[in-house]
Amino acid sequence: MNEVKLITDRLVIDAVRPCDKADYFHNISHDKRVLETFICNYAETLEEFDFSKYPGREDLFAVRKKEDGRLIGILTYFDVKDGACEIGYGFGSEHWGKGYATEAVSAFLDYCVDTLGLQKVYASFFVGNTASERVMQKCGMHYSHTNEKELTYLGIERDLIYYVIKRSDEKQI
Domains of the chain, by residue range, sit at 6-166
Tell me how far apart the alpha carbons of residues 89 and 125 are, in angstroms, rounded to a whole number.
10
Q: What is the pLDDT of residue 172?
A: 45
For the domain spanning 6-166, the CATH number is 3.40.630.30
- Spatial separation of the C-alpha atoms in residues 139 and 56, rounded to whole Å: 27
Pair 12, 5: CB distance under 8 Å? yes
Residue 140 burial (C-beta neighbours within 10 Å; 0-12, 13-18, 19+): middle
Write the secondary structure of the chain as one string of H (helix), E (strand) and C (coil).
CCCCCEECCCEEEEECCHHHHHHHHHHHHCCHHHHCCCCCCCCCCCCCCCCCCCCCCCCEEEEEECCCCCEEEEEEEEEEECCEEEEEEEECHHHCCCCHHHHHHHHHHHHHHHCCCCCEEEEEEECCCHHHHHHHHHCCCEEEEEEEEEEEECCEEEEEEEEEEECCCCCCC
pTM for the model stands at 0.91
Over residues 122-135, the pLDDT tens digits come to: 999 988 899 999 99
Interval 137-160: pLDDT, tens: 999 999 999 988 867 767 778 889
Query: Which pLDDT value is given to residue 169?
Result: 62
Under the banding of pLDDT at 50, 70 and 90, the label for residue 4 is: confident
pLDDT at 1: 60
